[in-house]
Chains A and B, each alone.
Chain A
Amino acid sequence: NAGVTQTPKFQVLKTGQSMTLQCAQDMNHNSMYWYRQDPGMGLRLIYYSASEGTTDKGEVPNGYNVSRLNKREFSLRLESAAPSQTSVYFCASRGQGGLYEQYFGPGTRLTVT
């Protein structure tokens, strides 16, 4: 049982390049989330998916798109990376039926130059 996994662990992009961050969970959770965490800051919600086939914007969605590929996988895409998107990105999932704990992946450290 791997929990929540993310790839890649590290990435360096040039301004204007695109990339997709991958996230998968093996806990049969309905809900999945993408957060960004800037140095010394809290977690800010980018997008979330309450169930397969649905996605909703969070606090800071501009510059990002997401895809809930199936129940296990939730990807985050940067179409044209900007230095302001330099951050650590965490994926998380949460169970249903009153199980409110969020389980986080190990994070992707992204630098945009």
Chain B
Amino acid sequence: GENVEQHPSTLSVQEGDSAVIKCTYSDSASNYFPWYKQELGKRPQLIIDIRSNVGEKKDQRIAVTLNKTAKHFSLHITETQPEDSAVYFCAPNTGFQKLVFGTGTRLLVSP
């Protein structure tokens, strides 16, 4: 089955800095690479995703980059704001039924 690791497990930045979270996976058949954000006490919600025929995708301050050869993809957040503070999960998968979520990265943005 898929083996998923996220790094770092915690990340503290100052408001306005950039943050990068990396997700490595083992299944070379994975072709869908989402990032979910979970605020304290809330449900996880998709913030950005990428498919394997694309190397990078941007949506305002967030972006995801994919390196299929090395089997990792990263979440980039620029100009961080306090409301970006949350736990972020990756969940690389093949589009079939089972998903394995990474263990999460806790991002803290200090004003």
- Which A positions have Cβ atoms within 8 angstroms of B? 31, 33, 35, 41-45, 48, 50, 56, 58-59, 90, 98, 100-102, 104-107
Contact = CB atoms under 8 A, between A and B. Distances in A.
Nearest to A96: B95
Given A42-B89, A98-B95, A104 B101 contact: no
Contact of A100 (B89, B95, B100, B102): B95
Interface of B: 32, 34, 36, 42-46, 49, 89, 91, 93, 95, 97-104
A45 B100 contact: yes
A59 B36 CA distance: 20
Contacts of A33: 99
B97 A43 contact: no
A58 B98 contact: yes
A101 B43 contact: no
B43 A105 contact: yes
Given A101-B49, A102-B46, A41 B103 contact: yes
B93 A100 contact: yes
